[in-house]
Amino acid sequence: MDKGTQEKVTRISEQDKQTVLNFIDARMRGKIKIESFIGLENYLNSTPFRQLWPKENRPQAYWTDSDAEKYFHFLIAVLKGTREASDEDVREAVGQLYECISVLREEIETDEDFVVSLKSEEKLGNIEKRLETTEADILNVNKKLDSEISKFAAVLKAINDWRGEFQPTLNEARDYFLDKARRMQGT
């Protein structure tokens, strides 16, 4: 990829990481065969990403299926520890290999189930965490609502107190003007 291309940041879950490790294990045991790397070639040519292998191995302009296969095996070597890499590069390799596996899923022949899905307990745990967050949000909204209601009640009390204090004066003014209006009509 050229230097002007924005690189894609790879984020990966623990389940996806385990899927990658299961895939590598099954591949090393000969349980997985990949028919073609053309789909990966197309993906690598169309998707910006941070290449992890040394510059001398990088394609000059476009990826070929052979380049794609070599890069795929390079990522596996990084994860197996046979290629030296930083912790950041290892994390990136996990994400990139997961994407490669996803792209190649139609080309992968296997009887092995290497894909890890969330277990029921983990799903329930995730739901419980979301519920706790939602409950906390509801409590915060209730506190704010209580605060606003208290402010509104204070304003209503102030109006009522004002009315109580000035009601006799208002009654006198009303009586005065009613009396004046009657006298004007009677004249």
pLDDT for position 20: 86
SS (H, E, C) 66-100: HHHHHHHHHHHHHHHCCCCCCHHHHHHHHHHHHHH
Residue 132 scores a pLDDT above 80: yes
- Do 23 and 110 have their domain in common? yes
Whether 181 is in a domain gets the answer yes
Task: Note whether 36 and 107 are within 8 A (CB).
Answer: yes
Range of the domain at 63: 14-117
Work out how many domains the chain is built from and give that number: 2
Find residue 32's DSSP bridge partners. Answer: 110
Cα separation of 4 and 185, whole Å? 91
Whether 6 is in a domain gets the answer no
Our measurement of the distance from residue 126's CA atom to the centroid of its chain's CA atoms, rounded to an integer in Å, reads 13
Our CA angle for 180, 182, 186, nearest 5°, is 115
Percent of the chain topping pLDDT 70: 86
Residue 161 scores a pLDDT above 80: yes
- pLDDT average, residue stretch 131-153: 92
Of residues 61 and 100, more confidence is placed in 100
Of residues 10 and 22, more confidence is placed in 22
Whether 9 is in a domain gets the answer no
pLDDT for position 58: 77
Cα separation of 87 and 118, whole Å? 25
Task: Note whether 88 and 81 are within 8 A (CB).
Answer: no
Q: Per residue in 45-62, pLDDT tens?
A: 888 888 887 777 777 778
- Do 24 and 90 have their domain in common? yes
For the whole model, what pTM was predicted?
0.54
- Do 38 and 99 have their domain in common? yes
- Do 23 and 57 have their domain in common? yes
- Do 104 and 151 have their domain in common? no
- Do 97 and 137 have their domain in common? no
Our measurement of the distance from residue 111's CA atom to the centroid of its chain's CA atoms, rounded to an integer in Å, reads 33
Q: Per residue in 110-129, pLDDT tens?
A: 776 666 554 556 666 677 88
Confidence band, pLDDT 50/70/90 cuts, at residue 2:
very low
Our CA angle for 115, 89, 66, nearest 5°, is 70
- Do 133 and 171 have their domain in common? yes
pLDDT for position 3: 41
- Do 125 and 104 have their domain in common? no
Cα separation of 6 and 107, whole Å? 28
Question: Quick one: tokens of 166?
Answer: 């000035």
Mean pLDDT of the chain: 83
- Do 56 and 97 have their domain in common? yes
- Do 99 and 24 have their domain in common? yes
Whether 2 is in a domain gets the answer no
Q: Per residue in 77-99, pLDDT tens?
A: 999 988 888 889 888 999 999 88
- Do 30 and 73 have their domain in common? yes
Whether 1 is in a domain gets the answer no
| CB-count exposure of residue 5 (10 Å: 0-12, 13-18, 19+) | exposed
